[in-house]
Chains A and B, each alone.
Chain A
Amino acid sequence: MSHEAALHNHEGHGHDDHGHHEHHDTFLTKYVFSQDHKMIAKQFLITGMVWAVLGGLMSVLFRLQLGYPDASFPWLESILGKWAKGGQITPEAYYALVTTHGTVLVFFVLTAGLSGTFANFLIPLQIGARDMASPFLNMLSYWFFFIASIVMLSSLFVETGPFSGGWTAYPPLSALHDASPGSKTGMDLWIIAMALFVVSSLLGGLNYITTILNMRTKGMSMTRLPLSIWALFFTAVLGVLSFPVLLSGLILLIFDRNFGTSFYLSDIYVNGVGALSNEGGSAILFQHLFWFLGHPEVYIILLPAMGMVSEIMSVNSRKPIFGYMAMLGSLFAIAILAFLVWAHHMFVTGLNPLLGSVFVLLTLLIAVPSAIKVFNWLTTLWRGNIRFTPAMLFAIGFVSLFISGGLTGIWLGNAALDIYLHDSYFVVAHFHIVMGVASMFGMFAGVYHWFPKMYGRYLNNSLGYIHFWITMAGAYLIFWPMHYQGLAGMPRRYFDFSIWESFKQFAELNRFISTVAMIVFATQILFLINFFYSIFKGRKVTVLNPWESNTLEWTTPINPGHGNWPGEIPEVHRWPYDYGKDGHEFIPQTTPVGEDESGTH
């Protein structure tokens, strides 16, 4: 039993010893500086939720401006002070809000909050490991994220405000202190926070990859892994290979900002400053470095959602996932292509047209694996014995959103169309549907599905249904009209559209979108209430495997301790998708293959 000694000397002598072991954990080691992957997952989740609320609130504030550009709300001034003088958000504050909203949602919520939570929670539990390869580095990964969060948060409170040049941080706004108020201290803090964030996700990613490759239990071959694990694996690979390139780009940015170098800056003329002394820098160079991360990043956000949706769909359709190997192949294809398409964000930068058409071709190729995945989800649902749990609804909602947003991706991937649509609300609609809301749905699906394993209690179903339907309807009501606005030429990142004759037609539509956005935001509060109430007061889980699922996490005790299994780690005999096989409702991965069983995976 040497392996038991590894993480916990006190465990592994049966469940009874459990209480004995808890004595050694202080509050600090159990809840704060925990090295237990399950606790770290919860830390990522809760921190991510805090950011989701803050980021969501920011969007409510700037939607207020877009919906009611002429109105004045005195209460705004009492919350925001000089950022809302006279009850109206200032342009500078508007840009700061949009920028911080984007940065926070993309990186802190949908990367750290999503991968951080579910890679940590699911990988050891579903592959049959007691913890990560290095629990210590794993803990550091969270704390780097935490410090990054504090630094980013503090940028909201500096005199000149947070960075306001967009989440993509293009120079010269990001490189020049004098370019805008947000380019001063706010940008310094933005860079520091992002650098810390990169370190956090690297430490996490290294651990996830190593753990999946190296620490699977007996019998768990790579092709017996649940698709959730495969998706998290490719996510980590994308992160480990692309985040360092962003870091390189940021380091060059730091040099331009502070040491007078000319990587991105050239002898441009700046109002109030005059011509810069820099020579020969190229702002486009930053865009290449940024989007070399930026595009893989959108898949870093999407893949975990895809993986969890596959798993949840199979469990709740009571059917094997359709085309396991095709799902795996498409994940692989998406991961490879993710590195080869970044310049589709740069069609209007004066890119060589020949190069542009290569990027068009590669970009449109992504539609192939994407379509395969959609087909397989739909065929998994087909004639299934579907259980419409809230998790399942969010999973189905994910597929709907992925189809809608993927289709507009094909429009944008054509350079000829994109030159017109670039930087318009069409792009905003595209990426919010396909990435923002879809991945959020994946995250909700995951939380609803694995909450019983996380906290040993159930979430309230009725609240879950209300949460789903309003959010689903709201997502389409908010973002569908934006396609039309974009087609009509309405540019993104403008503070006030009411002064243009051509956009006056959208005044009412903008007010409508803003109203729905507030309703949807309020609905998320319902989810928060459900979440925190259920942690303490939810209905208790009394069976090991409430969803009658095949995967390993449901073979652990209802409230597993550090080390996950009190005794030996179970051995795996089959793939995780034996639902409705040979007349059995479901056959867990730990069940040995019977003598007269039909072909097994």
Chain B
Amino acid sequence: MDFDIIFGNAARAAFGPEAIILALAAIGLNIHFGFTGLLNFGQVGFIMLGAYGTSVAVATFGWSLWVGIPIGLFLALALAVALGIPTLRLHAVMFAIVTIAAAEIIRILIGSTDAIGLTGGPLSVSFDAGAFFDLNPYADGPQDRYGVGTFAFTGQQMWVITVGWVLVALVSLIVFLIIRSPWGRVLKSIREDEDAARSLGKNVFWYKMQALMIGGVIGGMAGVIDAIKTSGADPNGFRPQVTFYTYTALLLGGAATYMGPVLGAILFWFLREWIESFLRQLSAEAWLPGAIADFLEGSEGIISVAMVGLALVLLMLFRPQGITGNRIEMQLDAR
């Protein structure tokens, strides 16, 4: 059992591209769910369109990556409008159902054999993200490593990470600026009582639409980073659980806070990787009874997700506002 390795793995996951993607997805979801109270259960749909928009533009149409990225973001925006127009006037539960269904429908369409010519269908699509890595300032030889022990990245990863975290910081700043403004105040009023907002002259539908669009485009950014990181996209990567991981991260960090989604994403990946590495080392220990070792072997990933879920349950029980949330605000719900 080598805890340095376990910790190194966990730290690498916590600061690597996966955490960045999750952080962006959670920042977008925070605008929907945290600040506006929209129950978006299809955040993965926005991520997927960001990733596929970029990938397909470059791989299928042969356009430049710098054209592909805006196309990915635009598709995420278009999804927000397409979802919002028919459903934002309906009850919150309807909206939740439609979003989860829409994301699944899109995934099934993208992954269908009929779409092979366009999206690669069930096969993944892949493209050359050279345009992005040409700008990489980090030396990227086969021997180049940045970090210590298992907490180390390649030059290419370093470039994705640098751009990614700068993007997370920038997006967080913009979200901070718009949420503390009178615009953000209207969102919070809608979250609490739509009719109160209406009675004060606020066009609730339009504000919700704006929130849906912004959060959706930020979700699209997560998809763009994902596409660049993997130089492509795979329909299996966009199953509904992505949305639920995003909710987990958001709730861990604290919904309706500025840093919550970022801290939550880091924590999510840290915990998940720590537990998985730990279990993997554990299952290799000689003293472990054979039955338990067999049980663990190969299921470390699933068990670790289950453990993160358990952590979320405990958090909701003992600190429902998340790590950074405001306890007093939570208590007002009970009145």
Partners in one complex: no
Binding site for A on B (CB under 8 A): none
